[in-house]
Amino acid sequence: MQRLELDRMVKINVGNGRVEGIDAGEVLEFRGIRFAEPPVGELRFRPPVLRPVTGDVDATSYGNRAAQAPAPEALGGVGPGEPDEDCLFLNVTTPAADGARRPVLCWIHGGAFTLGSANDYPAVDLAAANDLVVVTVNYRLGMLGFLDVSGLDADEAYAGSANHGIADQITALQWIRDHIADFGGDPDDVTIAGESAGAMSVMSLLASPAADGLYAKAMANSTGGLKPAPIDVASLVEPHLSGDGPLLERLRSADTATLLAVQQLAGFGFGGCIDGTIVTRTMSEAAADRSAAGVPLLIGSNLDEGTLFHAIAGFDESMFDLLTSALPEVVAGGAGADRYLASLEDAHPDADLTARNLMVWNEFFRRPAVDSAAVATEHGAGGWLYRFELPSTAFGGALGACHAGEIAFTFNWFAGDGEMPGWTFHDRTDDTKALADAWSSAVARFVRTGDPNGEGLPEWPRYSSDDRRVLVIDSPLRIDLDPDETARKRWSELS
């Protein structure tokens, strides 16, 4: 579908207000709707406060993206929306605001919990072709969304600060519950979905009792494992934040630019943890508990997850090693980073440092998918496991089937002949168009029915310890039997 010029407006009644959006022909787009109070001033580092729709709302332009450094070109560059602490906005794309109660896909963006925006994922084709309502959601990033300051003050409002970005997502789901029917969606049929940090967010929502009942299905594309506790990032922050007062006071009074600069010095480590207040279940417990409650899980990873991060590191071996350094402990699942790395070296004695780090990235995303899919099937609703293997054409094909490579296929950005968004690593060809049609249709069937099977797919069974068949997203689509057998047996020996 060719996107239309934004020259027609539409107004609909929502809650106690009126929302003006864009009539784009086959869909209506509502951009930049505030779902929570601005998390600034007294609300910095505090839980989000839901804002219902009241009065007249202009939803014809994108809202701010969360405060962040400029994204590298390898990650799509800078998208629409100004970076700002006042960032709790969402976008709604719907075939019609007609009370039809369509299934809802709530997409949570990735970006290592430090980058990205809901504005980077246009959903016109996905919504129109499949009669779905698609909501894309912003949340606080980096220190502002995931810095654990709970030990700096006795105020209970700071208890969940290590996951207030996840609390933002829960608040967005509450907004969807309250208002999505006015946009033609079904509040009782919401699928939470995301990629990378967005997929870790999905698993965090499964692990959060506060989110129970706000969604019916879950899809996680390339999730890493959850850390068992927040990292003490505050101790890394203090040396870089000038002033003589208590650290929390300095954090609350610093301007946004200063916090971003300090965050850059503190490095990675935000998000993806069990804090005991907002996220309370392990990933395995979450997959089991939610499956038993009737929530199916579609989950997977890509063949060459690490290559994009190698590119972000400038293909520098030492920088890439630094980026990789925190991952082995998570992949080890409690066995210890040293034992895990020793197992890799034993299995691949000829691999150099970069080759080993590429394997670590792959397994950081692959092991949670394999384990969670099996657990979900064992406990009821079922888990479907995929692996994306279509080599990319960006960067001269150097990245292979890289991290985030499946996003353009999920949203079917290959439809029509217009310009494709930044998160597109493949050329538009007859093969990629056909694959995008098939995969986006499978995603839509999962959103609609809880089962991705149907036209265009080979028979794709639930993944289990008794049936380890996996959908390989390639041209053509195929089913492989237990492609992770060797790595899976090595992981089990670590337990």
Active-site amino acid positions:
196, 305, 403
193, 107 Cβ separation under 8 angstroms = yes
- Give the residue among 271, 270, 250 at the shortest CA–CA distance from 259: 250
How many whole angstroms separate alpha carbon 57 and alpha carbon 97? 16
How many whole angstroms separate alpha carbon 195 and alpha carbon 172? 17
Residue 95 backbone phi and psi in degrees, to 5: -65, -35
How many whole angstroms separate alpha carbon 353 and alpha carbon 310? 12
For the chain, count helices (H), then strands (E).
16, 15
Residue by residue, what is the 3-state secondary structure of 257-303? HHHHHHHHHHCCCCCCECCCCCCCCCHHHHHHHHHHCCCCEEEEEEC
How many whole angstroms separate alpha carbon 57 and alpha carbon 17? 7
How many whole angstroms separate alpha carbon 203 and alpha carbon 220? 7
Angstrom CA distances, 244 to 40, 90, 152, 241, 249, stand at 23, 38, 15, 9, 10
Helix (H) or strand (E) holding 426, with range, is none
Q: Provide the token pair at 268.
A: 């990675």
392, 403 Cβ separation under 8 angstroms = no
How many whole angstroms separate alpha carbon 183 and alpha carbon 96? 7
Could you tell me where the DSSP H helices lie in 110-228? 124-130, 142-146, 164-179, 197-206
User: Which residue spans within 35-101 are E strands per DSSP?
Assistant: 54-58, 65-66, 83-84, 89-94
Q: Provide the token pair at 184.
A: 């033609």
Q: Provide the token pair at 471.
A: 């959908």
392, 399 Cβ separation under 8 angstroms = yes
Could you tell me where the DSSP H helices lie in 293-381? 306-312, 317-324, 327-332, 337-347, 353-378
How many whole angstroms separate alpha carbon 76 and alpha carbon 97? 31
CA 65 centroid distance within chain = 15
